[in-house]
Amino acid sequence: MTMVRGKPLRNGGKYSQTHTPYKKNRNGPTPSRTIMTRSQCSTSCTSFFSRIPAEVFDMILDKLSVLEISVFSMVSKEITRYIADYISTVAWKNKMILQSFHHSSCIEQKSTIGHYRDLGVLFKRCTLLLPTKDRLKFIFSKISQIPCFLLEKCVAPDCFAFTSFGVFLQTLIAGWDELECHRVFNFLCDLTNLQQKTEGVITAKPGVKWYQELQLRLFCRQVLLDPWPNQPECHFWLMQLLKPWPLVSQAHLLFILYGPLLPEGTLGWQDLVERGLPHTALWHLAKAILLLFGNLQVKGWSTDSMITIMEELIVIPHPWHVENVARLLVLCGSNLCYTVLASKALNGRLLEISRIIVYIILVCEKDGYHMSWAVKLVQEICKVFNTPPEKFYFIQQLENTFSEVTREFFEFSVAGNHFDDRETFQTLCILLDSCAHFHTKFLHMFLR
């Protein structure tokens, strides 16, 4: 059988061949070909750049974009070192580390944020061979002097520096393992005094340090949390922010990070106490709770700790309006809603859960959720009770609460010349409709 040998790949493999030109010699042997390894090729390339005067080399780098420099930095170790020195110069930093974060148009903002994304790629590549600690020292020595990147250093309301910093950081550490990310978080805490500033805010009365609250929220959201589109990364950073503090303080911090904002930009602490808010005001807080509650495998994180955080959250700064409690539970979904209410049922807090359920039914009617969801929720809570008398007492308490809440709305609407009379009367009508729809579904379940 004849073996056919395949043709060698062109310019492929580990070695490259260089052919020596020669004339045909009838009498002498054919000259041999010289084999050059990759490392020799690399040495040859770097020796070419080393022959260029430094001033000329800098002029070449000046003509390259940030991304082009980042690609060039991966040519060899010698080039990496040279570029690291080049981007450490004052001239380059003044030119490329942009600090124009105020009074910018939308196009200018996008351009600056894109530039910081490119800088993240550059610093990622030119520090690739350094240990994590040295990488972080080198990188943050270049950007730590930007006042707008630090907490409580900028008072401009339209500053988008935190967003630029967040994009830079996300690009820089994408793909790093958890241990390296822990070091990044610790480095950032040291750089910005994040832990001390967090402690100062969460130990104060809600709303007293409103500027510090807003700064902490903007920094944590825009730098650490929002840049990550995937839940695992966002969960990691949220855990780093919450873990150092006791559960009461975690609830306080969670509200600062994700609670509703007033139009003037401050946190709506008192609004949650005084009146019912729309679902948009509580949506981000519900998503954060779901992000935490969805991963209870984290060490030191349990259902009990989550319930404790929820219990603390809905009394900051005072007990919330019941409609807001109900709406938050609805937004958090069936599992968490049932877990919280079942815990209250097991502790004998029937009056409290009956009132919350009535408002859950009201929220379902207001916000357009299927009433069958509320019926199934009541069914599941009934299973918590072991005996028929206990179940009957729970249903009786729920019906009495329906009557009581309806009476409250009616009395308030006819009490006098209140500015919110019309809204209260509308809510009363919605409550009556929700009661009818709930009982229709409830009875239909037994008659099927």
Please, what is the angle between helix 350-367 and helix 334-346, to 10°? 160
Q: Has residue 279 been placed in a domain?
A: no
C-alpha–C-alpha distance, residues 383 and 184, integer Å: 47
Statement: residue 273 has pLDDT above 90: yes
Query: Considering the domain boundaries, does residue 248 fall inside one?
Result: no
Question: Based on the number of CB atoms within 10 Å of its own CB, is 361 exposed (0-12), middle (13-18) or buried (19 or more)?
Answer: buried
Domain that holds residue 371: 351-447
Domain count, the chain: 1
The more confidently predicted of residues 349 and 426 is 349
d(CA 108, CA 293): 39
Better pLDDT: 145 or 358: 358
Cβ(330)–Cβ(339) under 8 Å?
no
Q: CA of 387: how far to CAs of 100, 154, 344, 357, 384, in Å?
A: 68, 62, 17, 21, 9
Task: Tell whether 411 is covered by a domain.
Answer: yes
Residue 411 confidence (pLDDT) above 50? yes
pLDDT of residue 417: 53
pLDDT classification of 300: cutoffs 50, 70, 90: low
Mean pLDDT of the chain: 86
Any domain includes 275: no
Alpha-carbon distance of 74 to 122, in angstroms, equals: 10
The pLDDT assigned to 263 comes to: 86
Region 387-408: mean pLDDT is: 92
Residue 29 pLDDT grade (very low, low, confident, very high; cuts 50, 70, 90) = low
Which residue, among 148, 157, 158, has the nearest Cα to 106 in the 3D structure? 158
Nearest of 258, 259, 195 to residue 226 by alpha carbon = 258
356 domain-assigned: yes
pLDDT of residue 47: 54
At 48 the pLDDT is 67
13-22, 33-42, 323-332 — which is least confidently predicted? 13-22
Residue 298 has pLDDT above 80, yes or no: no
* pLDDT for the residue 399: 92
Residue 21, pLDDT above cutoff 50: no
pLDDT one-digit tens code per residue, 359-379: 999 999 999 999 999 999 999
Token pair belonging to 364: 């379902």
Angle between helix axes 247-258 and 279-293 (nearest 10 degrees) is 130
Q: Which positions ≥6 away from 327 have C-beta within 8 Å? A: 276, 277, 279, 282, 363, 367
Residue 299 pLDDT > 60, yes or no?
A: no
The number of helices, as runs of H, and strands, as runs of E, in the chain is 22, 2
In a domain, residue 376? The reply is yes
pLDDT of residue 352: 95
Confidence of residue 408 (pLDDT cuts 50, 70, 90): confident
- In a domain, residue 404? The reply is yes
| Contacts of residue 167, Cβ cutoff 8 Å, sequence gap at least 6 | 113, 116, 117, 120, 227
pLDDT tens figures, 124-169: 999 998 999 999 999 998 888 899 999 988 888 889 999 999 999 9
pLDDT over threshold 80, residue 241: yes
Is the residue at 399 inside a domain?
A: yes
Confidence check: pLDDT of 16 > 70:
no
pLDDT at 66 over 70: yes
Question: What is the model's pLDDT at position 421?
Answer: 65
